[in-house]
Amino acid sequence: MKKCIIPSGYENKLSLFETEVSIKKVKDFFQNSIAYELNLTRISAPLFLSDTSGLNDNLNGYERPVGFDIKTIPGEFSVVHSLAKWKRMALKKYEFPMHAGLYADMNAIRRDEDELDPLHSIYVDQWDWELIIKKEERNLEFLKKIVKRIFRSLQKTEKYINREYPLLSEKLPEDIFFITSQELEDAYPDLTPKERENAIAKKYKAVFISQIGKILKSGEKHDGRAPDYDDWDLNGDLIVWYEPLQCALELTSMGIRVSEESLAKQLTIAGAEDRRELPFHKALLNKELPYTIGGGIGQSRICLFFLEKIHIGEVQASVWPKEMIDHYKKSGIKFL
């Protein structure tokens, strides 16, 4: 409960009903904007996958998926953690052309979330997107170009929702700042990774931290990444400074996906070479899949940010400890 402090003078600018209406407005506007900016088509996506497919996102490697069996189909199945690998297979299956891509609504259950707090829930809702690119576009400059397009969609969404609700304020800067995880460690060597994010986000308001998952000079990682979807040299997190909670807020994690070369390298580093025999990994190593860039954009996260809420439970329906619900309710803050 220490992390669930309600800022002094906090006032909920939208009623519960207005909040529900505004959530839809934010989501509808942003997904249309990002689809236009990145040339994406919405497709249907699975809620669960077979455990033998190798397509579920392994996140940091220790999180347990929610598993179950099916009465009429043999084998075990798990609710997705994300669609990071599934999307790349779908692009091939649906025969998307070069520089076109897909996005889908992704819903997940992350039961091993370390701590439920104003920014973290066991329920994850995001737009998972993936775009086909040329192999020669697998570079930092192309990554930055796509990040700037996503940031432009965020800026457009903020302007739109603030016109709809004039009580809301502008929070995004004119430009986004780029920094690598190593440059960030060099700038703040005495801080933890999370403290570094807070420091850089407070300074620049919107930041893209690249090269997540690599071992830094300190011998530590800025954050964990599975070895089989993002290229650790060409990925990153887009974070913003969120004044009501005085913290950095990650809105999207994304990256240029592994090539056959970087997949082999990262599987070795991670001690996960057994995954080479899974269908997805075999196809990628045999150069049967397109080169792509993709990511996940938090739906509840951007609603929290644009609607100026202080707990993600105000913009998504999930489960929370009773004492947390009661703590916020005393101040007139209602969870969905």
| pLDDT value of residue 2 | 52
- Tens digits of residue pLDDT in 229-286: 899 999 999 999 999 899 999 999 999 999 999 999 989 998 888 888 888 889 999 9
Amino acid 195 reads E
- Tens digits of residue pLDDT in 49-79: 888 877 777 666 677 888 888 999 998 888 8
Catalytic residue numbers, as ranges:
57, 110, 126, 237, 250, 253
Determine the structural domain holding residue 110 and report its residue range.
16-329
Q: Is the pLDDT of residue 1 over 60?
A: no
Label residue 25 by pLDDT band (50, 70, 90).
very high
| pLDDT value of residue 60 | 62
For residue 8, being part of any structural domain is answered with no
How many CB atoms are located within 10 Å of the residue 44 CB?
Answer: 8
Q: Give the span between the Cα atoms of 185 and 180, in whole angstroms.
A: 9
What average pLDDT does this structure show over 16-30?
A: 96
For residue 48, being part of any structural domain is answered with yes
Query: For 215, which DSSP code?
Result: B
CA angle 291, 295, 297 (to 5 degrees): 160
For residue 7, being part of any structural domain is answered with no
For residue 334, being part of any structural domain is answered with no
For residue 5, being part of any structural domain is answered with no
Share of the chain above pLDDT 70, in %: 98
| pLDDT value of residue 103 | 97
Per the CB < 8 A criterion, the answer to whether 242 and 277 are in contact is no
Label residue 148 by pLDDT band (50, 70, 90).
very high
Label residue 162 by pLDDT band (50, 70, 90).
very high
| pLDDT value of residue 104 | 95
Beta bridge partners of 189: none
Q: Six-digit token pair at 92?
A: 């091939």
Share of the chain above pLDDT 90, in %: 63
CATH number at residue 170: 3.30.930.10
Label residue 159 by pLDDT band (50, 70, 90).
very high
Q: Give the span between the Cα atoms of 127 and 294, in whole angstroms.
A: 10
Label residue 223 by pLDDT band (50, 70, 90).
confident
For residue 6, being part of any structural domain is answered with no
> 274-281 contacts: CB < 8 A, separation 24 or more?
275/54, 275/228, 278/52, 278/53, 278/54, 279/53, 279/54, 280/53, 280/54, 280/55, 280/85, 280/88, 280/89, 280/228, 281/54, 281/228
Please tell me the total count of domains within the chain. 1
The more confident residue out of 29 and 246 is 29
Label residue 9 by pLDDT band (50, 70, 90).
confident
| pLDDT value of residue 153 | 98
Q: Give the span between the Cα atoms of 262 and 284, in whole angstroms.
A: 11
Q: What is the mean pLDDT of the chain?
A: 91
For residue 275, being part of any structural domain is answered with yes
**pTM across the whole model:** 0.91
For residue 148, being part of any structural domain is answered with yes
| pLDDT value of residue 147 | 98
Crossing angle between the packed helical segments 140-164 and 299-306, to the nearest 10 degrees:
50
What average pLDDT does this structure show over 205-215?
A: 95
Return phi, psi of residue 264, to 5°.
-60, -45
